[in-house]
């Protein structure tokens, strides 16, 4: 620890011996550094704020009717569009900066530099700040304001252009789908017309086949039941006499009013009614003719034998005739049902293929129809969205705070730079003294000399300063203090100049004069 303290004292003594060199180095660095700092060009910052509206009052009411957009995607597109190369090139042209870059390569570098210097900073509540710095305050303001104007114009134009492209594309697709729909309708109608005999309307082939089998089974069941009833009536009729003797019959005095005569009249009326509806070959008509002829023959025989018809026999025979007619009708029904079933079975291979083709054509038609209806709905949604953009009282991107002319420079930080220059100059002077002391390494005591040379020291002589030397040392110390005070005073004066009111305007005049002398124009 003592060695370190002694070493520190050594360097302090060496700095005191070389103080003029250290002060000279500090002055040499401070003077040009302070001048450069004071004359460093000002940079003026212009800022504008944009409010991006992601939702409106009408969006909840029109949800599902108009195409929806993602707010985050819209913000990202806004940032990319704002700093796009075409927009930056238009900014250079409108602000007059393009005249200073006639070469295409220089123009490209200017666009790249402009893109790097423009800052888009997101803030809260959908606010975005557009910031740009330039040496000329008017250039900074014009650049920001021109960029915003171009962005708003391009956004409106792009929105309308995209909407028009979308509408034109939808119209083209609707025309294509309409032609496809008409062709599908024509194919479906022609197919149904060609295969009308094979198609069963709403019912499928296997359903119709099952229904035909059911009808055949029902007809057979009904026919068997009717035949059983007919056979039973035949057995009953065989046990009942056909006529009764006149002596024992309660109807001897009224032979013409028996059941046979009444039945004969009824059958004739029924025959006349059926003849008006069917042909002579109808089974029921043929059966009625046979029954009427039989009844007429029996009545004639009974009159000749002196007997009257048995009413019970006549009733049974009438019921038997009705059952015979029912059996004939059911047999005809069964034959037709079996014929229809046979025809369906014969089509067992053709009909399923026809129905499958019909389903395929119908499915294609439904798909094309659904696409056509969706396109119609989208065209209507696009029309509503276009009307909404044209009529609603809002804009998507609203300039909340336009670019203003900056009066106070935003940079550079001259106070900090001045402090760094002063501290650096002083540090450089101190470093110069320490480095020179370390390189020269003088001996201040006999012990240091003995340790460095490893030789015995015979003696040490002390130097006693004269009165003149003492006066010279005092004068030198006073001069050093004065020069050091002047250095601090110069630093303070530089700070005062920087803080004065007219420094900015004076600096602008100086640079304008220098540019005029150098024949240079333009700005950042």
Q: Residues 190-203: pLDDT tens digits?
A: 877 776 655 655 45
The C-alpha atoms of residue 500 and residue 498 are separated, in whole angstroms, by: 6
pLDDT tens readout for residues 437-450: 777 666 666 666 67
The reported pLDDT for the residue numbered 27 is: 92
Whether 428 shows a pLDDT value over 70: the answer reads: yes
pLDDT band at 245 (very low <50, low <70, confident <90, very high): low
pLDDT band at 66 (very low <50, low <70, confident <90, very high): very low
Whether 326 shows a pLDDT value over 70: the answer reads: yes
Whether 64 shows a pLDDT value over 60: the answer reads: no
DSSP string across 447-475: HHHHHHH-S-----------HHHHHHHHH
The reported pLDDT for the residue numbered 521 is: 43
Residues 6 or more apart from 403 whose CB is under 8 A from it?
46, 47, 48, 130, 140, 141, 142, 144, 145, 148
The reported pLDDT for the residue numbered 14 is: 74
pLDDT band at 56 (very low <50, low <70, confident <90, very high): very low
Averaged pLDDT for residues 303-308 = 59
The C-alpha atoms of residue 419 and residue 424 are separated, in whole angstroms, by: 8
pLDDT band at 140 (very low <50, low <70, confident <90, very high): confident
Whether 311 shows a pLDDT value over 80: the answer reads: no
The beta-strand segments (E) located in 160-224 are: none
The reported pLDDT for the residue numbered 60 is: 46
How many separate helices (H) and strands (E) can be counted in the chain? 15, 6
Whether 157 shows a pLDDT value over 70: the answer reads: no
Q: Apex CA 27: angle with CA 439 and CA 414, to 5°?
A: 120
The reported pLDDT for the residue numbered 423 is: 92
Q: Where are the chain's structural domains?
A: 2-41+412-518, 205-356
The C-alpha atoms of residue 111 and residue 121 are separated, in whole angstroms, by: 20
Are 46 and 143 contacting, i.e. CB atoms less than 8 angstroms apart? yes
The reported pLDDT for the residue numbered 203 is: 56
Averaged pLDDT for residues 15-30 = 86
Question: Of 218, 211, 207, nearest to 334 (Cα)?
Answer: 218
Are 215 and 344 contacting, i.e. CB atoms less than 8 angstroms apart? no
Averaged pLDDT for residues 273-285 = 80
Strands 127-134 and 44-52: antiparallel
The reported pLDDT for the residue numbered 65 is: 41
Q: Which residue has the higher pLDDT, 406 or 206?
A: 406
Q: Which tokens in the block code for residue 353?
A: 């293929």
The C-alpha atoms of residue 369 and residue 183 are separated, in whole angstroms, by: 11
The reported pLDDT for the residue numbered 482 is: 92
pLDDT band at 177 (very low <50, low <70, confident <90, very high): confident
Whether 135 shows a pLDDT value over 60: the answer reads: yes
The reported pLDDT for the residue numbered 13 is: 74
pLDDT tens readout for residues 347-398: 666 666 776 777 788 888 888 888 888 888 877 777 776 665 554 444 466 7
Backbone phi, psi, residue 118, to 5°? -85, 130
Whether 251 shows a pLDDT value over 60: the answer reads: no
Whether 212 shows a pLDDT value over 50: the answer reads: yes
The per-residue pLDDT of the chain, averaged, comes to: 76
Whether 171 shows a pLDDT value over 60: the answer reads: yes
Averaged pLDDT for residues 255-266 = 63
The C-alpha atoms of residue 188 and residue 178 are separated, in whole angstroms, by: 15
Q: Which percentage of the chain shows pLDDT scores above 70? A: 71
pLDDT tens readout for residues 104-126: 888 888 888 888 888 888 777 77
pLDDT tens readout for residues 454-513: 777 776 767 677 888 788 878 888 988 898 899 889 888 888 877 775 566 666 676 667
Question: Of 381, 378, 389, 373, nearest to 65 (Cα)?
Answer: 381
pLDDT band at 204 (very low <50, low <70, confident <90, very high): low
Are 134 and 140 contacting, i.e. CB atoms less than 8 angstroms apart? yes
Cis ω for the linkage preceding 26 (within 30 of 0): no
């Amino acid at each position: 620890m003592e060695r370190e303290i002694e070493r520190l004292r050594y360097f302090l003594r060496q700095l005191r011996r070389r103080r003029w060199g250290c002060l000279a180095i500090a002055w040499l660095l401070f003077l040009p550094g302070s001048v450069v700092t004071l004359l460093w060009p000002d940079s003026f910052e212009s800022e504008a704020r944009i409010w991006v509206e992601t939702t409106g009052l009408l969006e909840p009411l029109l949800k599902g009717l108009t195409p929806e957009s993602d707010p985050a995607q819209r913000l990202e597109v806004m940032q990319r569009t704002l700093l796009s190369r075409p927009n930056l090139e238009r900014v250079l042209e409108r602000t007059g900066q393009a005249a200073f870059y006639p070469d295409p390569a220089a123009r490209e570098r200017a666009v790249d530099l402009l893109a790097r210097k423009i800052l888009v900073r997101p803030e809260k509540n959908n606010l975005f700040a557009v910031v740009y710095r330039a040496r000329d305050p008017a250039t900074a303001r014009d650049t920001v304001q021109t960029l915003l104007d171009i962005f708003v114009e391009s956004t409106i134009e792009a929105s309308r252009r995209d909407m028009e492209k979308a509408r034109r594309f939808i119209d083209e697709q609707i025309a294509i789908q309409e032609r496809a729909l008409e062709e599908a309708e024509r194919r479906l109608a022609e197919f149904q017309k060609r295969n009308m005999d094979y198609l069963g309307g709403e019912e499928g082939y296997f359903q119709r086949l099952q229904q035909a089998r059911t009808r055949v089974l029902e007809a057979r069941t009904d026919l068997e039941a009717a035949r059983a009833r007919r056979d039973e009536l035949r057995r009953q009729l065989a046990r009942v006499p056909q006529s009764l003797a006149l002596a024992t019959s309660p109807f001897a005095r009224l032979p013409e009013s028996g059941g046979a005569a009444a039945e004969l009249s009824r059958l004739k009326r029924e025959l006349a009614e059926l003849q008006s509806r069917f042909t002579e070959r109808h089974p029921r008509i043929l059966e009625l003719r046979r029954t009427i002829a039989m009844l007429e023959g029996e009545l004639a025989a009974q009159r000749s034998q002196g007997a009257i018809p048995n009413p019970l026999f006549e009733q049974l025979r009438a019921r038997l005739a009705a059952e015979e007619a029912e059996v004939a009708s059911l047999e005809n029904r069964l034959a037709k049902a079996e014929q229809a079933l046979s025809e369906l079975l014969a089509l067992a291979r053709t009909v399923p293929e026809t129905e499958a083709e019909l389903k395929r054509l119908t499915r294609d038609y439904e798909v094309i129809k659904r696409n056509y209806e969706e396109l119609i709905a989208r065209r209507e949604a696009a029309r509503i969205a276009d009307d909404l953009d044209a009529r609603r009282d809002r804009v998507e991107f609203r300039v909340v705070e336009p670019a203003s002319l900056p009066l106070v420079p935003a940079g550079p930080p001259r106070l900090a730079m001045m402090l760094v220059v002063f501290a650096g100059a002083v540090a450089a002077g101190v470093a110069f003294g320490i480095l020179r002391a370390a390189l020269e390494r003088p001996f201040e005591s006999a012990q240091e000399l003995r340790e460095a040379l490893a030789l015995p020291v015979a003696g040490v002589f002390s130097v006693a300063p004269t009165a003149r030397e003492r006066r010279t040392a005092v004068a030198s110390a006073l001069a050093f203090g004065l020069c050091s005070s002047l250095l601090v005073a110069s630093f303070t004066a530089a700070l005062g100049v920087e803080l004065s009111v007219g420094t900015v305007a004076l600096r602008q005049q100086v640079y304008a004069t220098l540019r005029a002398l150098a024949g240079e124009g333009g700005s950042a």
